[in-house]
Chain A
Amino acid sequence: MTHRRTQTEALHAYLYLSPSALIFLAFTLLPAFYVLYIGLFNWNFLNTSMSKFIGFSNYAALLKSHDFWHSLIATFYFVLGSVPTGIFAALFIALLLMRPFRGLGLVRLMFFAPYVTPVVSTSIVWLWLFNPQFGLFNEILHFLQLPQIGWVQSARWAMPSVILYTLWHTMGFNIIIFMAGLTTIPSELGEAARIDGASAWQEFWHVTWPLLAPTTLFVTVINTIGALQAFTQFFTLTNGGPAGSTTTASFLLFQQAFVFYHTGYAAALAVFIFIIIAALTLVQMRVSRSEAY
């Protein structure tokens, strides 16, 4: 009797899990293996049956290709340019927002707004701001009597331009996470420090910063993963150029797979990106396990 009941319960449980399980299997888990398989072939994009098994040649070609290393450098440039700056700016604003004041709700909404906007539409707005001829940014430089620059159209300034846009777009997310982290710090600790005569800076450095470490790590990892996966702003603002200066690994993947139809080669690149991101996610899960799961 009990045996049968546990059996029907298990049957029902599997039934309830099956819709999610089928989707994950078809579009996440099996593809993760399928991409490994594709990477071993000189894959024919138009006619799959013409694909030829070539072992690890795609990986070898990747490691030997100038474009691959160049894209890794561009990726690191993007990550290092956007993540630390974004985190410190967001932390600073979050600290300012933690002291209650009139209009807090509105100000928080304003800071948060860019994050929910579709990247493609707001990067079109920024494309106009960046326009070397008509754009507002060059007008501001002109006003400040600084030399005008080519922004997204110059190989030197294209990446900083994309970084600037990305900082703007992700700021709200980071602020929200930092504010959530800051509310978990008991206010008595800060008060005690102040009674002992600590300055605002000392209070931040010795109380807030150490206690905020898990949040900071979480934000760092999430932002790094986000930066590694960034695609749309590159597609709209620079299309990987000029002269490949903004072709990151993710952009190269798209280009190789869907512009040049080097499917097998792109699959090998996908495996590299997968390994890097999976490792980072694992770190993040380790850290946030106590809070989230």
Chain B
Amino acid sequence: MNAASRTRAAKVVQYALLTLGALMIVFPILYALGLSLMSGGEAAAYPPHIIPQHFQLKNFVSAVSEAPLGRFMLNSFIVSVIVTLAQLVTASLAAYAFAFMEFPFKKIIFLVFLSTMMIPGESTLIPNYLTIRSWHWINTYQGLTVPFMATAFGTFLLRQFFLTLPHDLFDAARIDGCGRLRFLWSIALPMARPALGTLGVYAFINTWNQYLWPLLITNSTSMRTVQIGIGMLQFQDATTWNVVMAGVVIILLPSLLTLVLGQKQLVKGLTSGAVKG
């Protein structure tokens, strides 16, 4: 076998493996979509069907009426937007101070910020629950959002970005009488748009996908987020799985949409080295 045909063979193997692998990976998501369109009987058929024989769109209607998915989606959306915006603001301000300003104990404060990444959510779960309860923040948007309004990861990401901006820019703006906040708002932040995008997409997906915290601190239907709400659909009976899958598809869509629109930002966020697990 000569070199050319060997590279060709390698290419074919590469294609075959990747196509097969990629199809296997997305299969569960496509399968959920298929099930969500089946009738109850077909979903529970054995041997299992993969492609629906008749499309039945009313499962989506049933899912939305069986559990108030609309309300849950709204709650998740409100919580995710608030957390994302808050993280962008708090991280920008802190990153700006670390990047451009001099103050006593800068190094120690920086290390303290860094150390918060070492403290896992598991170990702060119980104290935070007790705190939120004693503040009467159970079943409130404050309880769902305030604990996540700061981000060490985002602060370092933005600080790194600010450090790449020429310091002369800052000095020149100061001499022209530009206030610090104005400099941050009209010069530094517009230039940091790629880093802000990364942080924004990352924060949104993480908050949208949250499970344990909203499970613990909400118990009223009106305050539950969509990830908790999906549990209200009927799992017991095999013939209701088409409706359950319709619910799953509904709550998968925002995540997948964010992925398609923000893939570049997400990848950048993940690869920037210091992702909190």
Q: Write the residues of chain A forming the contact surface with B, with a CB cutoff of 8 angstroms.
A: 6, 9-10, 12-14, 16-17, 19-24, 26-32, 34-35, 38, 48, 93, 96-97, 99, 101, 107, 109-114, 116-122, 124-129, 131, 133-136, 139, 142, 168, 171-173, 176-177, 180, 218, 222, 225-226, 228-229, 231-232, 235, 250, 253-254, 257-258, 263, 266-267, 270-271, 273-274, 277-278, 281-282, 285, 288, 291-293
Contact = CB atoms under 8 A, between A and B. Distances in A.
A270 B123 contact: yes
A35 B90 contact: no
Contacts of A97: 18
Chain B interface size band reads 35 or more
B251 A121 contact: yes
A23 to B, nearest CB: 4
A171 B21 CA distance: 11
Contacts of A28: 116, 119, 124
A231 B277 CA distance: 12
A139 B18 contact: no
A245 to B, nearest CB: 21
Contact of A125 (B23, B31, B44, B208): B31
B263 A112 contact: yes
B9 interface: no
B263 A109 contact: yes
Contacts of A133: 46, 238
A150 to B, nearest CB: 16
Given A16-B97, A20-B155, A107-B18, A122 B29 contact: yes
B173 interface: no
A89 B265 CA distance: 24
Nearest to A131: B238
Contact of A31 (B17, B48, B103, B128): B128
Interface of B: 11, 14-15, 17-19, 21-23, 25-26, 28-29, 31-32, 35, 44-48, 50, 89-91, 93-94, 96-97, 101-104, 106, 109, 112-131, 134, 146-147, 149-152, 155-156, 180, 205, 208-209, 211-212, 216, 227-228, 230-231, 235, 238, 241, 244-245, 248, 251-252, 255-256, 258-260, 263, 266-267, 270-275, 277
A172 B118 CA distance: 24
A29 B258 contact: no
10 contacts: A9-B103, A35-B126, A96-B17, A110-B26, A125-B248, A225-B120, A235-B211, A267-B127, A270-B126, A282-B118
Nearest to A32: B119
Contacts of B89: 19
A17 B122 contact: no
Contact of A139 (B46, B231, B277): B46
Nearest to A95: B14
Given A111-B21, A136-B48, A278-B119, 9 more contacts: A10-B101, A21-B150, A23-B90, A28-B124, A31-B131, A113-B29, A119-B211, A133-B238, A281-B118
Nearest to A172: B25
